[in-house]
Amino acid sequence: MKKKVFGEKLSRDTDSRNALFRALLRALIIHGSIITTYAKANAIKRDAEKLIRFAKSADFNDKRKISAILANDRETTKKLYETVVATFDDIKSGFIRITNLPRRRGDNARIVKLEWSRKISVSNKSIKGKDKTKSEEAKADKKSLRGRLNSLRKKSVKSVKKPV
């Protein structure tokens, strides 16, 4: 007889589900909040709470568990210890907040915003750890039509001399 097993399957096999959970946890740590479906958010909420509890303890085995959950990503682990755990140092639970958003138009899925219950400073670094410089932003501006038009306007304003 088939028995029901605790946990969310999310219509995925075990490896895909673990990869999804790992990616959502990393995104939550890096960006501070993520927008996803209610089922995924509920499944991640348990893991995120557990991750913070592991990080708050100084046990070496718990550090290994965190490293395994985050796929040995040192940047994410470092951010977890430096910013997230420091923010939640005085409380024991209730680290995650789920806020309802309007339903998705295509399939009427329940969409929520999953975020930390307290404000955590998020740096401008991307996932790979690079800072965006002004030259990279300028290159991105030059690629778009609006960016090219703005640069042409600036050039034309500079070329016109104002009478004194």
pTM recorded for the entire structure: 0.69
Phi-psi region of 126 (alpha: psi -120 to 50; beta: other; left: phi over 0): beta
At 121 the pLDDT is 73
Convert the pLDDT of each residue in 28-77 to its tens digit: 999 999 999 999 999 999 999 999 999 988 789 999 999 998 988 889 99
Rg (CA), the chain: 22
Res 81 pLDDT > 60: yes
Mean pLDDT of the region 80-98: 89
Res 110 pLDDT > 90: yes
Largest CA distance in the chain: 92
Q: CATH number for 14-121: choose from 3.40.190.10, 3.90.105.10, 3.90.1030.10, 3.40.50.10320.
A: 3.90.1030.10
